[in-house]
Amino acid sequence: MTTAIPPGMERPHLIGVGGAGMSGIAKLLAGRGAAVAGSDSRTSETVAALTALGVTVHLGHRAEHLASDASCVVVSSAIREDNPELAEAARRGLPVVHRAEALAALMADTRAIAVAGTHGKTTTTSMLAVGLTALGLSPSYAIGGDLDAPGSNAEQGTGDLFVAEADESDRSFHHYRPDVAIILNVELDHHANYASMDEIYDSFETFVDRVRPGGTLVINADQEGARKLTARLAGRPGLELVTYGEAEGADVCVTGLRPDGLTSEVTVELGGRTLTFGVSVPGRHYAHNAVAALAAGVAAGVPADALARALASYTGVRRRLQFKGEAGGVRVIDSYAHHPTEMVADLEAIRAGAGEGRVLVVFQPHLFSRTQELGTEMGRALALADASLVMDIYPAREDPIPGVTSDLIIEAARRHGADVTAVAAATAVPDAVAGIAGPGDLVLTMGAGDVTELGPLVLGRLAV
């Protein structure tokens, strides 16, 4: 297993180094001995974890933060052209490397497994990383979220396997050359970058064409978009197709799924054998993620029975139905779900584990463009909760779109019979939750923005 620093990345500067993807690149490069520096707009637990690893982190974005001996600048698609550090790099003629290009360079001399799909990438990548680690295979990995602590989104292992989350949102997954690829599902999302399903399919086909000759694609046999993509891929030379799911004829067939509170047990038929193993997170979609992980690991040469047992050691990833605590008899769980399909899946999973209690949601829409296109579907999803509080849209990298507000979701939710209340200010959420929650209820903070920070505040208010 090589641990060489990719050429030209000996002294990299990462703009936005505290982000989920960028911090993983920083950790991997530091693990290979690079002198890593970067900047971020604010301090965080992730920044502190990087600093503890020897990464130099500057707060704020200024041209002088770019060291005189920097070998390159690494950016994500979220970095704007007018960023002063990026402008300084251009002035000096320094190489500018996209985050995905840096990750591809780190994966180049490994046996890579790349996990793609509109939903479930982080969970599935995490399951594989945890399972392979539990087997003593010491994989390297890069995940879009933390497993159990800040900075645990990446690791430079000593084995020859590398597991990576492959992001389709900006087509950056076209840079990778995996030996095994997973496609969990194919849906229209990322409306700023894709105008139609045809563009989505074309993008995923390009990703599949990057699989190394003789490699394997593991793909969902149940989800409509994945099935259509499978049909488009028929006859690809040098590619082994492995389907998974509950559909009749799936290569890795799910024959049983037994929920048990906030966990479940799944049974699969694989290679003429029956395997049953536990999944320590609730819901059908998480069980299917585990099956995809199992199929990919087997394709990479890992024994099926050993990996199935090891997958049971996965206990979740931060923000993916993460238990935050209990106060006043009310459990609080945090969910990263921000697309309607994810929202429905997590709400159904939580409903199964809520028992007699009510499911109460604090939802923060993510991105104006997504709300404009999918606001009605988001509102329909919230009808699965007993009551919801809807916050203002979290803009992330976007500028406002006239007429696009959380009201689009609220009105749609009410049309579907949902009990929904608008709560514009985050500071008002703890009191609002305390006013409706009672013993036995389950509160779900949901969204891809800073709604995740409200869980501890809600718990503190419920404890009063």
Q: Is 128 domain-assigned?
A: yes
The amino acid sitting at 435 is: G
Give DSSP secondary structure letters for 353-370: HSTTS-EEEEE--B-HHH
Report the pLDDT value the prediction gives residue 78, as an integer from 0 to 100: 83
| Cβ atoms 262, 281 nearer than 8 A | yes
Same structural domain, 392 and 351 = yes
Q: Cα(292)–Cα(260) distance, rounded to whole angstroms?
A: 21
The amino acid sitting at 456 is: P
Report the pLDDT value the prediction gives residue 284, as an integer from 0 to 100: 84
Same structural domain, 379 and 348 = yes
Same structural domain, 162 and 304 = yes
Q: Which residue has the higher pLDDT, 424 or 184?
A: 184
pLDDT band for 148, please (50, 70, 90 cuts). Answer: low
Give DSSP secondary structure letters for 79-102: S-TT-HHHHHHHHHT--EEEHHHH
Nearest CA to 293 among 121, 100, 106?
Answer: 121
Same structural domain, 91 and 115 = no
Q: Is 267 domain-assigned?
A: yes
Q: Is 215 domain-assigned?
A: yes
Q: How many domains does the chain have?
A: 3
Report the pLDDT value the prediction gives residue 285, as an integer from 0 to 100: 83
Q: Is 338 annotated as a binding-site member?
A: no
Same structural domain, 346 and 216 = no
pLDDT band for 317, please (50, 70, 90 cuts). Answer: low
Structure tokens at 436: 């409706």
Q: Is residue 318 over pLDDT 80?
A: no
Rg of the chain on CA atoms, in Å: 22
How many CB atoms sit inside 10 A of residue 340's CB?
20
pLDDT tens for residues 386-412?
999 999 999 987 899 999 999 999 999
Q: What is the bridge-based pairing of β-strands 12-15 and 37-40?
A: parallel
Same structural domain, 307 and 331 = no
How many CB atoms sit inside 10 A of residue 344's CB?
19
Report the pLDDT value the prediction gives residue 355, as an integer from 0 to 100: 76
Q: Is 6 domain-assigned?
A: no
Q: Is 120 annotated as a binding-site member?
A: yes
Report the pLDDT value the prediction gives residue 320, as an integer from 0 to 100: 66
Report the pLDDT value the prediction gives residue 182, as an integer from 0 to 100: 98
| Cβ atoms 26, 54 nearer than 8 A | no
Q: Is 238 annotated as a binding-site member?
A: no
pLDDT tens for residues 101-114?
999 999 999 999 99
Same structural domain, 143 and 247 = yes
Q: What is the bridge-based pairing of β-strands 273-279 and 111-116?
A: unpaired
Q: Model's pTM, two decimal places?
A: 0.76
Same structural domain, 292 and 338 = no
Same structural domain, 307 and 346 = no
CA distances (Å), origin 217, targets 191, 224, 292: 26, 17, 10
Q: What is the 3-state secondary structure (H, E, C) of 407-419?
A: HHHHHHHHHCCCC
Q: Is 105 domain-assigned?
A: no
- The CATH number given to whatever domain includes residue 410 is 3.90.190.20
How many residues comprise the chain? 464
Report the pLDDT value the prediction gives residue 151, as an integer from 0 to 100: 52
Q: Is 119 annotated as a binding-site member?
A: yes
Q: What is the bridge-based pairing of β-strands 140-142 and 154-155?
A: antiparallel
Phi/psi at 366 (nearest 5 deg)? -120, 120
Helices (H), 252-339: 284-299, 304-311
Same structural domain, 178 and 203 = yes
Q: Which of 289, 311, 333 is the last residue of a domain?
A: 311
Catalytic residues: 121-122, 165
Report the pLDDT value the prediction gives residue 140, as an integer from 0 to 100: 96
The per-type count for the chain, helices as H runs and strands as E runs, is 14, 21
Q: Which of 97, 129, 155 is the last residue of a domain?
A: 97
Q: Is 326 domain-assigned?
A: yes
- Strand-pairing partners, residue 358, are none
Q: Cα(437)–Cα(208) distance, rounded to whole angstroms?
A: 47
Q: Is residue 191 over pLDDT 70?
A: no
Q: Is 118 annotated as a binding-site member?
A: yes
Q: Which of 311, 344, 365 is the last residue of a domain?
A: 311
CA distances (Å), origin 22, targets 38, 73, 348, 360, 363: 10, 12, 32, 33, 26
pLDDT tens for residues 252-310?
999 999 877 677 899 999 989 999 998 887 778 889 999 999 999 999 999 999 999 99
Q: Is residue 146 over pLDDT 90?
A: no
- The CATH number given to whatever domain includes residue 216 is 3.40.1190.10
Q: Cα(248)–Cα(459) distance, rounded to whole angstroms?
A: 45
Q: Is 284 domain-assigned?
A: yes
The amino acid sitting at 352 is: A
Q: Is 89 domain-assigned?
A: yes
Q: Cα(97)–Cα(93) distance, rounded to whole angstroms?
A: 12
- The CATH number given to whatever domain includes residue 49 is 3.40.50.720
Report the pLDDT value the prediction gives residue 145, as an integer from 0 to 100: 65
Report the pLDDT value the prediction gives residue 122, as an integer from 0 to 100: 87
Report the pLDDT value the prediction gives residue 150, as an integer from 0 to 100: 45
Show the domain range for 86.
12-97
Same structural domain, 411 and 347 = yes
Q: Is 123 annotated as a binding-site member?
A: yes
- Taking all residues of the chain, what is their mean pLDDT, rounded to a whole number? 91
| Cβ atoms 255, 248 nearer than 8 A | no
Q: What is the mean pLDDT of residues 57-68?
A: 96
pLDDT tens for residues 327-352?
999 999 998 888 898 899 889 878 87
Q: What is the 3-state secondary structure (H, E, C) of 443-460?
A: EEEECCCHHHHHHHHHHH
Same structural domain, 93 and 121 = no
Q: What percent of the chain has pLDDT over 90?
A: 73
